[in-house]
Amino acid sequence: MVAAVEYSKNAFFNFVCATAGDVIYSTKVGKLEKGQELMNVQKNNGLNGRVPIGFKLYKTINCDARINELVWSPDGTKLAWGSNDNVVRVWDIQKETTQTFPTNNAWIWCLAWSPDNRLLASGSGGQTIDIWDTQNNKIYQKLRKHTGSVFSLAWSSDGLILASSSIDGIIYLWDPKTGEPKKVLEGDYLARSTAWSRIGPILASGYHDNSIRLWAFGKNGIKVNDLIGHQDLVYSLAWSPDGNLLASSSADRSIRIWNPKMGLPQSC
């Protein structure tokens, strides 16, 4: 089973995927054209899946635990993953080295890179968030407010705010320098996912009551707008680069693409 897939931001790698079998695979340069045929990867390569014809397996990284999250740094030079052994790892594709950052005694559920490629935030089942300085190989900040597992982390585009959501139903907007929350957004249901718009101070959050909430921060306060349409909890959210569309995935087995200005999904 493929547990996570992530595309690189540079031209060296196309994508990597992590499997429940504790192995990470990366494929080397190749451009996927519209309608390009997919091929099955040989089982002796360890990956029971399909990749575009012309892609080559570049590297296999064997891990000792299930991988829950997989994220490239914004500049595409480092790959981070978090797993059930309570450790965050960062692979430098240029140096071919791996950094390890042990956390508390809890599985790692989510990771998020700061826009400047320096800081890596990790959220765990132990109600904790750690921010790692990957350049100096040390802890940068420990964030301790949540009372439930942390399932989602998202940096604002300027890197000044880290949003976190948890099954405790609270979203914290952290100041990474002080380690204290700038704002607390409380809801009536469990918050599963968060995503900042890339063009403005708008945060999207997904909940276990099937809804998506948009938080717009302005000089006159916070404006809230709810997007209703999913029939089950909202697992993940992603903004388009221009900030005009918001994609959401749900346990109802659908992906919806929203125009937040209209409040209605454009497609399902």
pLDDT in tens, 112-168: 999 999 999 999 988 999 999 999 999 999 999 999 899 999 999 999 999 999 988
Structural domains for the chain = 66-267 (2.130.10.10)
Kindly report the average pLDDT of the chain as a whole number: 79
Task: Report the alpha-carbon distance of residue 8 to residue 4 in Å, rounded.
Answer: 13
Q: What angle do CA 249, 251, 257 make, to 5 degrees?
A: 25
With a pLDDT cut of 90, the percent of the chain lying above it is: 43
Distant-in-sequence, close-in-space partners of 125: CB < 8 Å, separation ≥ 6: 106, 107, 109, 149, 150
Confidence of residue 37 (pLDDT cuts 50, 70, 90): very low
Contact 125, 109 (CB under 8 A): yes
Q: How far is CA 85 from CA 89, 109, 134, in A?
A: 11, 11, 19
Of 214, 194, 212, 211, residue with least CA distance to 202: 214
Give the model's pLDDT for residue 191. 83
Q: Residue 229: which residues within 8 A CB-CB, separation 6 or more?
A: 256, 258, 264, 265, 268
Q: What is the pLDDT of residues 45-78, one digit of tens each?
A: 444 444 455 556 677 777 778 888 899 999 999 9
Higher per-residue confidence, 73 vs 224: 73
